[in-house]
Amino acid sequence: MPELPEVESLVRGIRTDLIGRSFSKIEFYRKDLRETIPQKRLRQILLGEIIHEVVRRGKYFLIGTNQGFLGVHLGMSGRFVKSDSTQPQVAHTHACFEINSDTQFRYIDPRRFGRLFSVEKNEKNDHPFLAGLGVEPLDKTIDLAKYLFQKSRTRKQPIKNFLMDSSVVVGIGNIYASEALWLSKIHPEQPANTISRNDFSRVADAAREVLNQAIAAGGTTFRDYRDKDGNPGYFQKNLSVYGKVTKPCSRCGGEVLRLTLAGRSTFFCSFCQKLKINN
């Protein structure tokens, strides 16, 4: 899916279109995505109600009125696109949220790994999809390095899997996990509980750096991601290891390799990201 930078880019884009407006018509073209869509409740929450909030939480985003929230997850291939009402619908359009007779937002998701759900007014931190989420990596009120170090003491799984665990820290998916570890010169298979406090400082700084840079570039488009206007992001031009198998590392010239961790492609430089036996 889109990871944190892509969802953040999208949310920033749609926020100005939605705040202070309301949906006048909502259409669903199928009854379920990953779960049954609560169509009736979503209409109650949204129709004719002023939108006062559009926020991201991890890779989810919420559109809020005084009645509650529409929760959205884009899965792997989801898009939330602002369209002119006269534009023909593309394949896999599953829902349409109309603001007025010529502007609507369409939810499109070929793989249907995404979700549309309702969140009650006071359920923002208690909804099952949101309650278990870890910290926001860009939250400046959190000492991310300290937090990750403490959380990792009982975790011997590879650091890359640890960084992608959304109950620990949200928003870091397969691309940015590899990129952040490259930037901090740590091997993706390094057991999380063998990483020093000092090294976690580098990991935390690197993760924030990569995420911020990616947001600034409008996200990464490998294949599916588009912003609300259907445009791709540009951060893929700045990727250092993701998808760069056998290419030379831009930092040291070493060979970039691919391995599989938890079933996911993982990329790293075989020369400047060495496994440490003692740490």
Pairing of strands 60-65, 68-73: antiparallel
- By residue count, the chain amounts to 279
Of 99 and 170, CB closest to DNA: 170
Runs of H (alpha helix) within 83-192: 128-131, 144-152, 159-163, 174-183
Considering the rule CB under 7 A, would residue 154 count as an interface residue with DNA?
Answer: yes
In sequence order, the β-bridge partners of residue 32 are 36
Of 19 and 76, CB closest to DNA: 76
Q: Is 153 a catalytic residue?
A: no
Considering the rule CB under 7 A, would residue 88 count as an interface residue with DNA?
Answer: no
Question: What's the rounded Cα separation, in Å, for the pair 180 and 87?
Answer: 39
* Stretch of 10-18, 81-89, 142-150, 170-178 contacting DNA, by CB under 7 A: 170-178
* Stretch of 20-28, 62-70, 105-113, 135-143 contacting DNA, by CB under 7 A: 105-113
* Stretch of 40-48, 140-148, 149-157, 205-213 contacting DNA, by CB under 7 A: 149-157
Using an 8 Å Cβ cutoff, are 218 and 246 in contact?
Answer: no
Considering the rule CB under 7 A, would residue 156 count as an interface residue with DNA?
Answer: yes
* Stretch of 14-22, 47-55, 104-112, 202-210 contacting DNA, by CB under 7 A: 104-112
Considering the rule CB under 7 A, would residue 3 count as an interface residue with DNA?
Answer: yes
Question: What's the rounded Cα separation, in Å, for the pair 171 and 168?
Answer: 10
* Stretch of 10-18, 148-156, 249-257, 268-276 contacting DNA, by CB under 7 A: 148-156
Residue 253 amino acid letter = G
Catalytic residue among 56, 57, 59, 106: 59
Among 41, 82, 208, 264, binds DNA (CB under 7 A): 264
Residue 235 token pair: 């951060």
Using an 8 Å Cβ cutoff, are 49 and 70 in contact?
Answer: no
Residue 78 DSSP label: -
Of 184 and 220, CB closest to DNA: 220
x/- binding map, residues 30-59, to DNA, per CB under 7 A? ----x-----------------------xx
x/- binding map, residues 228-257, to DNA, per CB under 7 A? -----x------------------------
Question: What's the rounded Cα separation, in Å, for the pair 260 and 86?
Answer: 45
Among 21, 52, 111, 247, binds DNA (CB under 7 A): 111
Of 101 and 196, CB closest to DNA: 196
Cα 176–Cα 277–Cα 240 angle in degrees, nearest 5:
25
Residue 244 amino acid letter = K
Residue 83 amino acid letter = S
The closest of 206, 214, 209 to 188, measured between CA atoms, is 206
Q: Is 110 a catalytic residue?
A: no
Half-sphere exposure of 228 (CA within 13 A, CB side): 18
Residues labelled as active-site residues: 2-3, 59, 264
Binding residues for DNA (CB under 7 A): 1-3, 6, 34, 58-60, 73, 75-77, 91-92, 110-113, 128-129, 132, 154-158, 161-162, 164, 166-167, 173-175, 192, 219-225, 233, 262-265
